[in-house]
Amino acid sequence: MPTYRSLSSDPRQGLREGSMMEEEWEAEKAEEIDYVFKIVVIGDSAVGKTQLLGRFTKDEFYFDSKSTIGVEFQTRTITLNKKRIKAQIWDTAGQERYRAITSAYYRGALGAMLVYDITKRATFDHVARWVDELRDNADSSIAVMLIGNKSDLADKRAVAAADAVEFAEEQGLYFSEASAFTGDNVEAAFLRLLEEIHGVVSRKALEARRNNAVDGGADAGHVVSLKGTRVEVSMMETSAMRTGTQCGCSS
C-alpha cells in the first residue's frame, strides 16, 4: 500500500500513513461525499500540469513553482447534478519521462487531463504517445480531456488550435485551450471532465442495477457502490466531440 500524502487543505491533511483509506472513508461519510473520482494529469514536463492543478483546486498560480513539488494528488469537492463529488486529481510529480510513470498512477482513474503547451510544438507532437500510454495502462472507459495550456501566450503560439481539434476528433478526446496563469477555461475544463465521468459512472450503475434485476439476485434493485473509485467502468458510451477551441462546458 503506497503511503501517498495529500497537501490538500481538507480535514484529512496529516493523516497517519497506512491508515489513510479508512480515515478518508470516515471523512467522506461525514462530508456526505457521493463519489470520489480519480483524475490523472499527464503530458510532457513543464507544460503546466502542476499549475493547472493548483488553479483548479486552490485557485492559485505559483510564481515560484519548482518543476516538482512532490504532491501526489490534490482534491476539490464540487456539487454536480445534486451530487457531492470529490475530484482527486493526481500529479505526475516529475515522472514525465517517457514510460517512467508506473501503472499504479493510472489504476482506478476515471478521467485524464492530457496537457500540452501551445507554445512548444514538441509537447503537442508527444500527445499521441501519451494517448498510447493511457490505452496501455488505464481503463478503456477513461474520459480524456486534451488541454492546450498557456493560452495567455498567444503571441508565442506554435500549435494551431485546429490541429488539436483534428487530433482530438480522431482520438475521441475532449479538447480545450486553457491558461493556468489567467485561469481562463481551467474550471470549465475540469468541470466538463467531471460531468463526463459522472455520466459514465451513472450509466454503469444503472446497467448494473438492471442486470441485477434481470438476474433476480438477492441484490436486485440495490444500488451498487456509489464510490466512484470503486465502480468498475468498462464501457465508454460517451463520444460527444468538442469541436471548438473553447471548452463549451456548462457549469
Ligand X SMILES: Nc1nc2c(ncn2[C@@H]2O[C@H](COP(=O)(O)OP(=O)(O)O)[C@@H](O)[C@H]2O)c(=O)[nH]1
Write out the residues near ligand X by the rule CB under 6 A: 45-51, 65, 67, 149-150, 152-153, 179-181
Asked whether position 51 contacts Mg ion by CB under 5 A, the answer is: no
Among ligand X, Mg ion, none, the one that 181 touches (CB under a kind-dependent 5 to 8 A) is ligand X
Asked whether position 50 contacts Mg ion by CB under 5 A, the answer is: yes
Among ligand X, Mg ion, none, the one that 180 touches (CB under a kind-dependent 5 to 8 A) is ligand X
Minimum Å distance from CB 167 to ligand X?
19
Closer residue to ligand X in complex, CB, 46/104: 46
Asked whether position 75 contacts Mg ion by CB under 5 A, the answer is: no
Among ligand X, Mg ion, none, the one that 167 touches (CB under a kind-dependent 5 to 8 A) is none
Task: Output the residue with the shortest Cβ distance to ligand X.
Answer: 48
Tell me the DSSP string of the chain.
-----B--SSTTTTPPTT-HHHHHHHHHHHHT--EEEEEEEE-STTSSHHHHHHHHHHS---TT--S-----EEEEEEEETTEEEEEEEE--TT--STT-S-HHHHTT--EEEEEEETT-HHHHHTHHHHHHHHHHHS-TT-EEEEEEE-GGGGGG--S-HHHHHHHHHHHT-EEEE--TTT-TTHHHHHHHHHHHHHHHHHHHHHHHHHHHHHHT-TTTTPPP---GGGS------------SSS-----
Among Mg ion, ligand X, none, the one that 60 touches (CB under a kind-dependent 5 to 8 A) is none
Among Mg ion, ligand X, none, the one that 192 touches (CB under a kind-dependent 5 to 8 A) is none
Minimum Å distance from CB 41 to ligand X?
8
Asked whether position 57 contacts Mg ion by CB under 5 A, the answer is: no
Residue 88 near residue 39 (C-beta atoms within 8 A): yes
Minimum Å distance from CB 70 to Mg ion?
10
| Residue ranges binding Mg ion (CB under 5 A) | 49-50
